[in-house]
Amino acid sequence: MKRTRKILAILASIAFVLALAGPILAAQLKSPDDVKTALRLLVQVSNDFKRQITNKNFARVPHEYMEYTEAADALRTAIKNEPADFKNRVETRLKAAVAAYQKISDMSSSATDPDKLMAEHAKAVTAMNAVFDLFPADFRPDPNLPPPGRGRGGQKSQ
Amino acid sequence: MYRTDARSRNFSVLGRAPLSRRRLLVGSLALPLTLLGCSRRRSSGQQGVDLFIESDGDFLAFRPDELTCRTGALVHLTFHHAGKFLSARHNWVLVYPDQMEAVDKDAEKTEGVISTDDPRVLAVVPMCDKGETMMTEFIAPATADYPFFCSTPGHAVDMNGILHVTE
Protein backbone atom coordinates (compact mmCIF):
# COMPACT_ATOMS: atom_id res chain seq x y z
CA MET A 1 0.00 0.00 0.00
CA LYS A 2 2.76 2.35 1.03
CA ARG A 3 4.74 1.37 -2.08
CA THR A 4 1.77 2.01 -4.35
CA ARG A 5 1.34 5.47 -2.89
CA LYS A 6 5.00 6.16 -3.44
CA ILE A 7 4.77 5.10 -7.10
CA LEU A 8 1.64 7.20 -7.61
CA ALA A 9 3.38 10.19 -6.04
CA ILE A 10 6.37 9.76 -8.34
CA LEU A 11 4.09 9.43 -11.38
CA ALA A 12 2.16 12.53 -10.36
CA SER A 13 5.41 14.47 -9.97
CA ILE A 14 6.59 13.36 -13.42
CA ALA A 15 3.24 14.37 -14.94
CA PHE A 16 3.45 17.74 -13.20
CA VAL A 17 6.99 18.36 -14.46
CA LEU A 18 6.00 17.36 -18.01
CA ALA A 19 2.97 19.63 -17.88
CA LEU A 20 5.23 22.52 -16.88
CA ALA A 21 7.93 21.58 -19.39
CA GLY A 22 5.60 21.75 -22.41
CA PRO A 23 5.02 25.49 -22.37
CA ILE A 24 8.62 26.13 -21.26
CA LEU A 25 9.90 24.21 -24.28
CA ALA A 26 7.44 26.06 -26.47
CA ALA A 27 8.63 29.36 -24.98
CA GLN A 28 12.05 28.59 -26.42
CA LEU A 29 10.77 28.73 -29.97
CA LYS A 30 13.39 29.57 -32.58
CA SER A 31 11.30 32.30 -34.26
CA PRO A 32 8.91 33.59 -31.58
CA ASP A 33 7.97 36.77 -33.47
CA ASP A 34 7.12 34.84 -36.65
CA VAL A 35 5.02 32.42 -34.62
CA LYS A 36 3.14 35.27 -32.93
CA THR A 37 2.51 36.90 -36.32
CA ALA A 38 1.23 33.66 -37.86
CA LEU A 39 -1.11 32.97 -34.93
CA ARG A 40 -2.47 36.52 -35.12
CA LEU A 41 -3.05 36.11 -38.84
CA LEU A 42 -5.05 32.93 -38.26
CA VAL A 43 -7.31 34.82 -35.84
CA GLN A 44 -7.57 37.81 -38.19
CA VAL A 45 -8.70 35.66 -41.11
CA SER A 46 -11.07 33.69 -38.88
CA ASN A 47 -12.67 36.99 -37.84
CA ASP A 48 -12.92 37.95 -41.53
CA PHE A 49 -14.83 34.72 -42.18
CA LYS A 50 -17.25 35.71 -39.45
CA ARG A 51 -17.66 39.21 -40.86
CA GLN A 52 -18.37 38.01 -44.40
CA ILE A 53 -20.92 35.50 -43.11
CA THR A 54 -22.63 38.11 -40.92
CA ASN A 55 -22.80 40.53 -43.87
CA LYS A 56 -24.14 37.69 -46.08
CA ASN A 57 -21.24 38.35 -48.41
CA PHE A 58 -20.95 34.64 -49.15
CA ALA A 59 -19.05 35.10 -52.41
CA ARG A 60 -16.05 36.37 -50.39
CA VAL A 61 -15.88 33.31 -48.13
CA PRO A 62 -13.79 31.12 -50.49
CA HIS A 63 -11.28 33.97 -50.69
CA GLU A 64 -11.09 34.01 -46.89
CA TYR A 65 -10.42 30.27 -46.95
CA MET A 66 -7.53 30.84 -49.35
CA GLU A 67 -6.11 33.41 -46.91
CA TYR A 68 -6.56 30.97 -44.03
CA THR A 69 -4.40 28.41 -45.86
CA GLU A 70 -1.80 31.16 -46.40
CA ALA A 71 -1.82 32.00 -42.69
CA ALA A 72 -1.46 28.27 -41.93
CA ASP A 73 1.54 28.15 -44.26
CA ALA A 74 3.00 31.15 -42.41
CA LEU A 75 2.77 29.14 -39.17
CA ARG A 76 4.41 26.11 -40.81
CA THR A 77 7.28 28.34 -41.96
CA ALA A 78 7.56 29.93 -38.50
CA ILE A 79 8.06 26.54 -36.80
CA LYS A 80 10.13 24.86 -39.51
CA ASN A 81 13.24 24.73 -37.27
CA GLU A 82 11.43 23.28 -34.25
CA PRO A 83 11.76 19.62 -33.15
CA ALA A 84 9.95 17.13 -35.39
CA ASP A 85 7.68 15.95 -32.56
CA PHE A 86 6.39 19.47 -31.91
CA LYS A 87 5.94 20.16 -35.64
CA ASN A 88 3.97 16.93 -36.06
CA ARG A 89 1.64 17.82 -33.21
CA VAL A 90 1.05 21.29 -34.66
CA GLU A 91 0.55 19.89 -38.16
CA THR A 92 -2.10 17.40 -37.03
CA ARG A 93 -4.17 20.07 -35.31
CA LEU A 94 -3.53 22.66 -38.03
CA LYS A 95 -4.80 20.28 -40.71
CA ALA A 96 -7.97 19.75 -38.70
CA ALA A 97 -8.45 23.53 -38.37
CA VAL A 98 -7.87 24.13 -42.09
CA ALA A 99 -10.34 21.35 -42.93
CA ALA A 100 -12.94 22.96 -40.65
CA TYR A 101 -12.57 26.33 -42.44
CA GLN A 102 -12.67 24.58 -45.82
CA LYS A 103 -16.03 23.12 -44.86
CA ILE A 104 -17.39 26.64 -44.30
CA SER A 105 -16.01 27.68 -47.67
CA ASP A 106 -17.62 24.70 -49.41
CA MET A 107 -20.94 25.36 -47.70
CA SER A 108 -20.87 29.04 -48.65
CA SER A 109 -21.32 28.29 -52.36
CA SER A 110 -24.93 27.26 -51.73
CA ALA A 111 -25.53 29.07 -48.46
CA THR A 112 -28.52 31.25 -47.76
CA ASP A 113 -28.64 30.84 -43.99
CA PRO A 114 -25.85 32.67 -42.13
CA ASP A 115 -26.76 30.86 -38.89
CA LYS A 116 -25.73 27.49 -40.32
CA LEU A 117 -22.39 28.91 -41.44
CA MET A 118 -21.89 30.58 -38.07
CA ALA A 119 -22.43 27.22 -36.35
CA GLU A 120 -19.71 25.73 -38.55
CA HIS A 121 -17.51 28.73 -37.83
CA ALA A 122 -17.83 28.08 -34.09
CA LYS A 123 -16.58 24.51 -34.67
CA ALA A 124 -13.69 25.82 -36.77
CA VAL A 125 -12.70 28.27 -34.00
CA THR A 126 -12.58 25.34 -31.56
CA ALA A 127 -10.26 23.49 -33.96
CA MET A 128 -8.08 26.59 -34.27
CA ASN A 129 -7.90 27.00 -30.49
CA ALA A 130 -6.59 23.42 -30.29
CA VAL A 131 -3.61 24.63 -32.39
CA PHE A 132 -3.10 27.60 -30.07
CA ASP A 133 -3.08 25.29 -27.02
CA LEU A 134 0.27 23.93 -28.21
CA PHE A 135 1.86 27.36 -27.74
CA PRO A 136 2.55 29.35 -24.57
CA ALA A 137 -0.34 31.41 -23.29
CA ASP A 138 1.33 34.74 -24.08
CA PHE A 139 1.65 33.68 -27.74
CA ARG A 140 -2.06 33.07 -28.16
CA PRO A 141 -3.95 36.02 -29.66
CA ASP A 142 -7.21 36.95 -28.00
CA PRO A 143 -9.96 36.84 -30.65
CA ASN A 144 -12.13 39.02 -28.44
CA LEU A 145 -9.73 41.95 -28.43
CA PRO A 146 -10.84 44.97 -30.48
CA PRO A 147 -9.13 45.28 -33.87
CA PRO A 148 -5.87 47.25 -34.09
CA GLY A 149 -7.38 49.84 -36.45
CA ARG A 150 -9.40 52.89 -35.52
CA GLY A 151 -12.77 51.17 -35.82
CA ARG A 152 -15.85 52.31 -37.66
CA GLY A 153 -16.33 56.06 -37.66
CA GLY A 154 -12.74 56.92 -36.89
CA GLN A 155 -12.82 56.05 -33.17
CA LYS A 156 -9.43 54.69 -32.25
CA SER A 157 -9.70 51.41 -30.35
CA GLN A 158 -7.90 51.13 -27.02
CA MET B 1 10.42 92.63 -85.39
CA TYR B 2 13.09 92.97 -82.78
CA ARG B 3 12.22 89.58 -81.33
CA THR B 4 12.50 87.91 -84.70
CA ASP B 5 15.89 89.52 -85.24
CA ALA B 6 17.08 88.49 -81.83
CA ARG B 7 15.89 84.92 -82.23
CA SER B 8 17.50 84.57 -85.57
CA ARG B 9 20.70 86.06 -84.17
CA ASN B 10 20.79 83.62 -81.37
CA PHE B 11 20.20 80.77 -83.71
CA SER B 12 23.01 82.04 -85.88
CA VAL B 13 25.37 82.29 -82.93
CA LEU B 14 24.54 78.87 -81.62
CA GLY B 15 24.58 77.29 -85.01
CA ARG B 16 27.69 78.67 -86.58
CA ALA B 17 29.95 80.85 -84.42
CA PRO B 18 32.12 79.45 -81.60
CA LEU B 19 30.85 80.30 -78.07
CA SER B 20 32.62 83.01 -76.10
CA ARG B 21 33.44 82.40 -72.40
CA ARG B 22 30.93 85.05 -71.31
CA ARG B 23 28.14 83.49 -73.37
CA LEU B 24 29.04 80.02 -72.13
CA LEU B 25 28.88 81.26 -68.51
CA VAL B 26 25.54 83.02 -69.04
CA GLY B 27 24.16 79.99 -70.85
CA SER B 28 25.24 77.53 -68.18
CA LEU B 29 23.65 79.69 -65.46
CA ALA B 30 20.44 80.26 -67.38
CA LEU B 31 19.02 76.72 -67.11
CA PRO B 32 19.43 76.21 -63.35
CA LEU B 33 18.19 79.74 -62.65
CA THR B 34 15.15 79.17 -64.86
CA LEU B 35 14.36 75.88 -63.10
CA LEU B 36 14.86 77.50 -59.71
CA GLY B 37 12.53 80.31 -60.72
CA CYS B 38 9.90 77.85 -61.87
CA SER B 39 10.03 75.84 -58.66
CA ARG B 40 9.86 78.98 -56.51
CA ARG B 41 6.84 80.20 -58.40
CA ARG B 42 5.10 76.81 -57.85
CA SER B 43 5.89 76.51 -54.16
CA SER B 44 4.78 80.04 -53.36
CA GLY B 45 1.37 79.38 -54.90
CA GLN B 46 0.93 75.74 -53.87
CA GLN B 47 2.88 73.88 -51.22
CA GLY B 48 3.86 70.33 -52.13
CA VAL B 49 3.70 67.62 -49.47
CA ASP B 50 4.94 64.03 -49.63
CA LEU B 51 3.06 61.56 -47.45
CA PHE B 52 3.85 57.88 -46.98
CA ILE B 53 1.58 55.20 -45.59
CA GLU B 54 1.68 51.40 -45.60
CA SER B 55 -0.28 48.40 -44.42
CA ASP B 56 0.80 47.02 -41.03
CA GLY B 57 2.41 43.98 -42.67
CA ASP B 58 -0.40 41.51 -43.33
CA PHE B 59 -2.56 42.93 -40.57
CA LEU B 60 -5.65 44.98 -41.26
CA ALA B 61 -4.30 48.34 -40.17
CA PHE B 62 -2.55 51.35 -41.67
CA ARG B 63 0.84 52.48 -40.41
CA PRO B 64 0.57 55.34 -39.49
CA ASP B 65 -3.19 55.63 -39.14
CA GLU B 66 -3.10 59.43 -38.92
CA LEU B 67 -1.73 61.85 -41.51
CA THR B 68 -1.58 65.64 -41.56
CA CYS B 69 -1.25 68.25 -44.30
CA ARG B 70 -2.17 71.86 -44.93
CA THR B 71 -5.26 72.91 -46.82
CA GLY B 72 -4.58 73.66 -50.48
CA ALA B 73 -1.33 71.65 -50.53
CA LEU B 74 -0.52 69.45 -53.50
CA VAL B 75 -0.25 66.07 -51.76
CA HIS B 76 1.85 63.24 -53.25
CA LEU B 77 0.74 60.19 -51.29
CA THR B 78 2.62 56.90 -51.60
CA PHE B 79 0.99 53.70 -50.36
CA HIS B 80 2.94 50.46 -49.82
CA HIS B 81 1.37 47.03 -49.26
CA ALA B 82 3.80 45.66 -46.67
CA GLY B 83 2.24 42.19 -46.47
CA LYS B 84 4.31 39.02 -46.90
CA PHE B 85 1.97 36.08 -46.42
CA LEU B 86 -1.65 36.79 -47.31
CA SER B 87 -2.96 37.41 -50.83
CA ALA B 88 -5.38 40.05 -49.56
CA ARG B 89 -5.22 43.22 -51.65
CA HIS B 90 -5.20 46.68 -50.10
CA ASN B 91 -5.72 50.23 -51.28
CA TRP B 92 -6.11 53.71 -49.83
CA VAL B 93 -9.31 55.69 -50.29
CA LEU B 94 -9.83 59.23 -48.98
CA VAL B 95 -13.44 60.38 -48.59
CA TYR B 96 -15.38 63.35 -47.27
CA PRO B 97 -16.34 63.24 -43.56
CA ASP B 98 -19.07 60.73 -42.65
CA GLN B 99 -18.93 59.06 -46.08
CA MET B 100 -16.68 56.10 -45.28
CA GLU B 101 -19.39 53.64 -44.35
CA ALA B 102 -21.55 54.40 -47.40
CA VAL B 103 -18.65 54.28 -49.87
CA ASP B 104 -17.37 51.07 -48.29
CA LYS B 105 -20.83 49.49 -48.49
CA ASP B 106 -21.09 50.33 -52.19
CA ALA B 107 -17.58 48.98 -52.80
CA GLU B 108 -18.72 45.52 -51.64
CA LYS B 109 -20.62 45.22 -54.92
CA THR B 110 -17.54 46.02 -57.01
CA GLU B 111 -14.97 43.86 -55.17
CA GLY B 112 -13.59 47.00 -53.59
CA VAL B 113 -12.98 48.94 -56.80
CA ILE B 114 -13.76 52.64 -56.29
CA SER B 115 -14.81 54.96 -59.08
CA THR B 116 -12.73 58.13 -59.23
CA ASP B 117 -15.91 59.92 -60.40
CA ASP B 118 -17.63 59.24 -57.09
CA PRO B 119 -18.32 62.72 -55.62
CA ARG B 120 -17.88 61.37 -52.07
CA VAL B 121 -14.30 60.34 -52.87
CA LEU B 122 -11.35 62.76 -52.70
CA ALA B 123 -8.49 60.47 -53.73
CA VAL B 124 -7.84 56.80 -54.45
CA VAL B 125 -4.71 54.66 -54.63
CA PRO B 126 -5.50 51.60 -56.79
CA MET B 127 -5.56 48.09 -55.33
CA CYS B 128 -2.09 46.75 -54.50
CA ASP B 129 -0.87 43.17 -54.16
CA LYS B 130 1.63 42.36 -51.41
CA GLY B 131 4.92 44.16 -51.89
CA GLU B 132 3.50 46.70 -54.34
CA THR B 133 3.73 50.48 -54.02
CA MET B 134 1.39 52.98 -55.70
CA MET B 135 0.98 56.73 -55.63
CA THR B 136 -1.74 59.32 -55.96
CA GLU B 137 -1.85 63.11 -56.07
CA PHE B 138 -4.56 65.40 -54.85
CA ILE B 139 -5.14 68.92 -53.61
CA ALA B 140 -5.78 68.95 -49.86
CA PRO B 141 -9.39 70.06 -49.27
CA ALA B 142 -10.75 72.51 -46.70
CA THR B 143 -9.71 72.28 -43.06
CA ALA B 144 -11.30 69.21 -41.45
CA ASP B 145 -10.63 65.57 -40.53
CA TYR B 146 -11.12 63.26 -43.50
CA PRO B 147 -11.43 59.49 -43.09
CA PHE B 148 -9.42 57.10 -45.24
CA PHE B 149 -9.79 53.34 -45.49
CA CYS B 150 -9.08 50.20 -47.50
CA SER B 151 -12.06 49.33 -49.71
CA THR B 152 -11.41 45.59 -50.01
CA PRO B 153 -14.71 44.13 -48.75
CA GLY B 154 -14.59 43.64 -44.98
CA HIS B 155 -11.33 45.55 -44.42
CA ALA B 156 -12.57 49.08 -43.68
CA VAL B 157 -13.91 48.25 -40.22
CA ASP B 158 -10.32 47.66 -39.06
CA MET B 159 -8.21 49.28 -41.74
CA ASN B 160 -8.93 52.99 -41.59
CA GLY B 161 -7.47 56.27 -40.41
CA ILE B 162 -7.76 60.05 -40.48
CA LEU B 163 -6.18 62.75 -42.64
CA HIS B 164 -6.05 65.96 -40.60
CA VAL B 165 -6.19 68.95 -42.95
CA THR B 166 -5.01 72.06 -41.12
CA GLU B 167 -4.76 75.80 -41.84
What is the per-residue pLDDT across A52-100, written as a single tens digit (0 to 9) for each?
Answer: 999 898 999 999 999 999 999 999 999 999 999 999 999 999 999 999 9
CA distance B49 to chain A (A): 23
Same domain, B38 and B70: no
Instruction: Find the residue in A nearest to B58 (Cα).
Output: A41
Can you tell me whether residue B52 is helix, strand or coil?
Answer: strand
pTM (predicted TM-score)? 0.74
Domain end position, chosen among B10, B30, B45:
B45
Same domain, B113 and B148: yes
Cβ-based contacts of B56 with chain A (< 8 Å): 148
Could you read off the pLDDT of B92-142 as tens digits, one per residue? 999 999 999 999 999 988 989 998 899 999 999 999 999 999 999 999 999
Same domain, B67 and B147: yes
pLDDT at B116: 85
Q: Which domains does chain A have, with CATH numbers?
A: 2-143 (1.20.120.330)
With CB atoms and an 8 Å threshold, state whether A51 touches B57.
no
Same domain, B9 and B90: no
Q: Which domain holds residue B32?
A: 2-45
For A152, which of B57, B58, B157 is closest by C-beta distance?
B157
Same domain, B38 and B61: no
Cβ-based contacts of A156 with chain B (< 8 Å): 65
Same domain, B83 and B156: yes
pLDDT at A72: 98
pLDDT at B3: 35
> pLDDT band at residue A141, thresholds of 50, 70 and 90?
confident
Same domain, B41 and B52: no
Domain count of the fold of chain B: 2
Residues 6+ apart with CB under 8 A from B76: B48, B49, B50, B51, B135, B137
pLDDT at A153: 44
Q: Which of B62, B63, B85 to mutate to test the interface with A (most CBs of A within 10 A)?
A: B85
pLDDT at B163: 98
Same domain, B117 and B83: yes
Same domain, B34 and B55: no
With CB atoms and an 8 Å threshold, state whether B86 touches A41.
yes
Q: Poorest-confidence range of A3-7, B7-11, B83-87?
A: B7-11
Same domain, B112 and B138: yes
What string of H, E and C letters represents the secondary structure of chain A?
A: CHHHHHHHHHHHHHHHHHHHHHHHHHHCCCCHHHHHHHHHHHHHHHHHHHHHHHCCCHHHHHHHHHHHHHHHHHHHHHCCCCCHHHHHHHHHHHHHHHHHHHHHHHHHCCCCCHHHHHHHHHHHHHHHHHHHCCCCHHHCCCCCCCCCCCCHHHCCCC
ipTM of predicted assembly, 2 dp: 0.76
Instruction: Find the residue in B nearest to A67 (Cα).
Output: B86
For B88, which of A55, A67, A73 is closest by C-beta distance?
A67
With CB atoms and an 8 Å threshold, state whether B101 touches A153.
yes
Residue B11 has pLDDT above 70, yes or no: no
Same domain, B161 and B89: yes
Same domain, B29 and B98: no
> pLDDT band at residue B49, thresholds of 50, 70 and 90?
very high
Q: Which residue has the higher pLDDT, B47 or B35?
A: B47
Domain end position, chosen among B45, B61, B80:
B45
Cβ-based contacts of A149 with chain B (< 8 Å): 60-62, 65, 157-161
